[in-house]
Copies of this chain bind each other. A is one copy, B any other.
Amino acid sequence: MLSEFSLIDRFFARRAATARPSIAGSDTLGIGDDCALLAPRSGEMLAISTDMLVEGRHFFADINPEALGHKALAVNLSDLAAMGAQPQAFTLAFSLPKADEAWLAGFSEGLFTLADRYGCELIGGDTTGGPLNLCITVFGSVPPRTALRRDAALPGDDIWISGTLGDARAGLGVQRGEWTANASDAALFRHALERPEPRIALGLALRGIAHAALDVSDGLAGDLLHILERSSVCASVDVDAVPRSAALRRLASDVQQRCTLAGGDDYELCFTAPTAARAAVEAAAHKASVPVTRIGTIRAMDAATDRPAIVWRNAAGAPLTVTLQGFDHFHAE
């Protein structure tokens, strides 16, 4: 196979930060030294997130390498979006069974096209042989007190969702043969699965407006619970209000519900904001060109049960029993 250094040079180093020293000032250092050197913007902090993607678990072996390059970075940028952070740089470590040049060309194309759109520089990495594994660490910049944390939800807050949920899980189900869809719906689902769009602009626009936020990567039911646990609150969610695409509405209603509530791989933002900020939230969404939908309310914790939980309701407000047990998504452990 190509040696490590020729591999790095050929597909990655040339497009990395060393080639574009203007981005981060003269002291910044990218690929080619023991460490990269990076500073957040003046007065800001670095938001840091790391994700590891494994073949057969997070993507299929036959995934288009260009789509994989996109997705590997997109899921990391999504974490920055959920923090309200401005993307700045990333490192890429990966192991590959063999150095397939066409594959690497496609992968790096998908990766850098997305990185360039967000001004996110490759500043370091590591490559080795081994079963296909991608580990990206992203760095964003955020003013210390405006970061959108998970522990900031307050009783009375509205709960919002960007975009629609469930399409990626619907796409996985089509690929697995769990259900069928017409060709154009199947293509839309597959696009959602392979091409998630990080909600960076929305995250930035929600600084100072939203209270808590996270990105929905493992399904709404589980992810919203992280906000509740960290904020010590409960939630009431209108199941019928959870936004879904027209394509998803053509699947059976129980499949729709499971895809939207326990689907995973959505990479939409779930956030809370005070009711007084509804107009501001709508304005932020308009600015970011992303639709947002109110799906419920944060409640004070019930003293009797004393644990964070979601009460699911229908549009009429009647409580529902939502059974999501055993509906594994792509990330299932």
0/1 string, A1-38, CB within 8 A of B gives 1? 11110010000000000000000000111001111111
What are the residues of chain B within 8 A of A33 when measuring CB–CB?
83, 149-151, 214, 230
What is the CB-to-nearest-CB distance from A198 to chain B, in angstroms, rounded to a whole number?
11
The residue in A56, A82, A126 that gathers the most chain B C-beta atoms within 10 A of its C-beta is A126
Report whether A130 and B38 are in contact in the complex, using a CB–CB cutoff of 8 Å: no
Q: Is A317 an interface residue (CB 8 A)?
A: no
26 A–B contacts from the bound complex (CB under 8 Å) = A4-B333, A27-B147, A32-B230, A33-B149, A34-B148, A34-B213, A35-B49, A35-B80, A35-B140, A35-B147, A37-B47, A40-B40, A48-B123, A50-B126, A50-B137, A52-B127, A52-B133, A54-B128, A57-B128, A58-B128, A91-B137, A93-B137, A126-B135, A133-B133, A133-B135, A137-B137
Could you tell me if B128 and A131 are in contact, using CB atoms closer than 8 angstroms?
no
Q: Which residues of A contact B (CB under 8 A)?
A: 1-4, 7, 27-29, 32-40, 45-52, 54-58, 79-80, 82-83, 85, 91-95, 123-131, 133, 135, 137, 139-140, 142, 144-145, 147-151, 213-215, 230, 331, 333
